[in-house]
Structure 1
């Protein structure tokens, strides 16, 4: 099994970023560091005879000493790592860890392992050699976690106390632990730390399965939720985005460390200076004080770094004037009474002309669909952002000599509006008669729309007197249309003629509820970082430059 893992991870290991470490110390090795003049006691084998002949004195070669690097892998094997849509996060962590172990071994590195849940469950000190590789891979395969929680802070504190010499620490986790940030900052001061976050696509897209019980794999807590509820889905997306921004913003924690290192370096360094013969005179007449201006270069570089880190976290804010798309479904009565000619040329034709006005005024991100009903209900145009196609289907609607299944049409319209998750939905219902057919009553359909949080705007079309052009009853049930609008949070409108009907549809585009769309502002921070860097370059190299 270890051999199969080695073969499977060989490609990743050969292409990894691990490489031989070049030490700053001079010694034996293969990489030439520099040439220097021969000193008594130097090894004669280090003399470069060709360079000595050119320079007319003995010169010896100095090489960079090659030292093996030490790596520690911190693996999160908590309960949350068992989750995965196709492959569990725990499996991905093991594959990446195995690739890193073999890559480090190929570069003669020393590798150690720390497995953590809500406590440190296993620790193997770093050692070189293939026997260590086999021991680590066996530990990856055979380990069975006893804990289910996550406490990365405990693992980081453990490494700081157990591993004294500076090394490279690679953390593989989903970072589903709010208390790791401070401990990670402390670990980064002691060791070179790389964090690799392992996630699953299903964590970002909550499945729309209606009512469900969700169970936390770490705590066992169960929560009953409605995964189809738009408000819940929006809140979930916002919470996931906030957690991602918190994790991606951990890099900001390194800025105080840079400030500390800079202050220490300033105390130990001397500034670049100009040779001048009258320094004593200048010292007598100068204003006493420190040199604050050189610190501005560091402050600008630090500000640029902070702006880049914040931009990489991809912050979003709701912007006025940039609205989220809305799913708009037109539910149109095509029963026999819609053939009446009291509207020019007929009620149905007037309704189609008015509906085109509304469709043409929707926003580019809006989706539109059409449902028609008479004795039953059917879809005339499915939800689509293609406005021209929907209008073409609208004018393809023909009247029928049937009764009025108002409840069925409304229920189908709500289903269509709810078919695309994470969007606001609106149903616009037009009818001219009393509901006298169908499976659903208008009250049942209105309750269904209220349950799905879909507001319904109702439009009554008809005349108070006798009408011509149809043999069907054309009595308008305004009370039912008002009740539907009141139950679902919409509005009722009465159209007296084709002009009023067109004005109602035109005004509905302004009545559709919208929310500002969360828009990424990362480019603002990147642009700010570029501006700060340009200012830093001007102060460093421009006319009024600051001495570094």
Structure 2
């Protein structure tokens, strides 16, 4: 266990008391030795004094001192970092359903691989996370508002349908609006829960073409930054994907640069996934980050248990060796 700090370090002042006990014990042993040496008949002393103890007679006292040290350490409130499930958070999963998602460079298609990975992501999130779902192509649609009920999200993921165009900015704006609406309802005295947008897309924004336009992706990312809603972007697909449009094979190369910029502008993270397995790993990593947080938790129990065991050992050894309690 890695100790990161103490919640009540002033309890370490008890170490002065423990030190005084040690000093008292040493002085008591010396005084006892002086009183014993007053016997004039050393031969008689050897016959009446207990034999065979030696250093073992100090075992009960040593165990008592160790138990006091352990219990003092426990009282000081040691803390340790531990991953605990979040009990309040909001996540909007924003999925691209433009026609480019029909490409088969990721088997069986980009969309089906994305659906499977998103389904696992939704089912694996910790219960305290409110998850919502948005799909976007030429426009964005809020399919599921943030909720801790996962079945509705999973059903919506299974029913995703392809459409024309890619309005990435609209997807981000819709997610921001959903988060704001949800936060206004559940904020409470502690304020709104921390929120994040997970954006999964495979291509460049086409509506509008300028990503810095008022409804563009970069503009939306900047607003997300202002609202402290980081956007984790997943660029999904390969550089050699194609789809058939009106009998022609049209290349649909992923746009890593734009996804990386959206993540940077919003204060989020960028991920690259060129296969179904890579996408699953990305979602697993995001699920771990979103669903859990690292907190300093109380770590005193092991020290209390160990101190108590050693104290019992001190009492038992004293009864066994000296027929008395220390």
**Cα distance, 1:301–1:458 mapped onto 2, change above 3 Å:** same
1:355 matched to 2:118? The reply is yes
TM-superposed CA distance for 1:457, in Å, is 2.5
TM-superposed CA distance for 1:429, in Å, is 2.2
Q: Which residue of the partner structure matches residue 232 of structure 2?
A: 456
Q: Which residue of the partner structure matches residue 420 of structure 1?
A: 193
**Cα distance, 1:294–1:341 mapped onto 2, change above 3 Å:** closer
Q: Which residue of the partner structure matches residue 315 of structure 2?
A: 537
Bigger share in helix: 2
After superposition, what is the alpha-carbon deviation per residue over 1:214-257, rounded to whole angstroms, capped at 9, x for unaligned?
xxxxxxxxxxxxxxxxxxxxxxxxxxx96xx45x2323313313
Q: Which residue of the partner structure matches residue 222 of structure 2?
A: 447
Question: Is the 8 Å Cα contact of residues 318 and 517 (structure 1) preserved in structure 2?
Answer: yes
TM-superposed CA distance for 1:401, in Å, is 5.4
**Cα distance, 1:383–1:399 mapped onto 2, change above 3 Å:** same
Q: Which residue of the partner structure matches residue 64 of structure 2?
A: 301
Q: Which residue of the partner structure matches residue 330 of structure 1?
A: 93
Partner Cα distance (1:334, 1:454) in 2: 22
Q: Which runs of 5+ in 2 are unaligned?
A: 184-191
Q: How does 1:264-413 map to 2 (within 5 A)?
A: 280-281=42-43, 283=45, 296-318=59-81, 322=83, 329-334=92-97, 337=99, 348-360=111-123, 368-374=131-137, 375-378=139-142, 380-382=144-146, 384=148, 387-388=150-151, 390-395=153-158, 397-399=159-161, 404-413=166-175
Partner Cα distance (1:313, 1:393) in 2: 51
Partner Cα distance (1:393, 1:307) in 2: 55
Q: Which residue of the partner structure matches residue 524 of structure 1?
A: 302
Partner Cα distance (2:44, 2:321) in 1: 22
Q: Which residue of the partner structure matches residue 504 of structure 1?
A: 278
**Cα distance, 1:261–1:511 mapped onto 2, change above 3 Å:** closer
Partner Cα distance (1:426, 1:314) in 2: 37
TM-score for the superposition, normalised by structure 1: 0.40
Question: Is the 8 Å Cα contact of residues 252 and 306 (structure 1) preserved in structure 2?
Answer: no
TM-superposed CA distance for 1:409, in Å, is 1.9
**Cα distance, 1:467–1:543 mapped onto 2, change above 3 Å:** farther
Q: Which runs of 5+ in 1 are unaligned?
A: 1-240
Larger Rg: 1
Partner Cα distance (1:490, 1:442) in 2: 15
1:491 matched to 2:270? The reply is yes
Partner Cα distance (2:111, 2:311) in 1: 64
Question: Is the 8 Å Cα contact of residues 271 and 282 (structure 2) preserved in structure 1?
Answer: no
TM-score for the superposition, normalised by structure 2: 0.61
RMSD, aligned α-carbons: 4.9
Partner Cα distance (2:41, 2:143) in 1: 91
Partner Cα distance (2:134, 2:17) in 1: 62
TM-superposed CA distance for 1:528, in Å, is 0.8
TM-superposed CA distance for 1:474, in Å, is 9.4
Partner Cα distance (1:250, 1:328) in 2: 41
TM-superposed CA distance for 1:443, in Å, is 0.9
Q: Which residue of the partner structure matches residue 118 of structure 1?
A: none
After superposition, what is the alpha-carbon deviation per residue over 1:348-394, rounded to whole angstroms, capped at 9, x for unaligned?
4553223224445557887654333342453625253x555542443
TM-superposed CA distance for 1:442, in Å, is 0.9
Partner Cα distance (2:101, 2:19) in 1: 79
1:253 matched to 2:13? The reply is yes
TM-superposed CA distance for 1:541, in Å, is 1.2
Q: Which residue of the partner structure matches residue 466 of structure 1?
A: 244
Aligned residue for 2:146, secondary structure, equals: strand
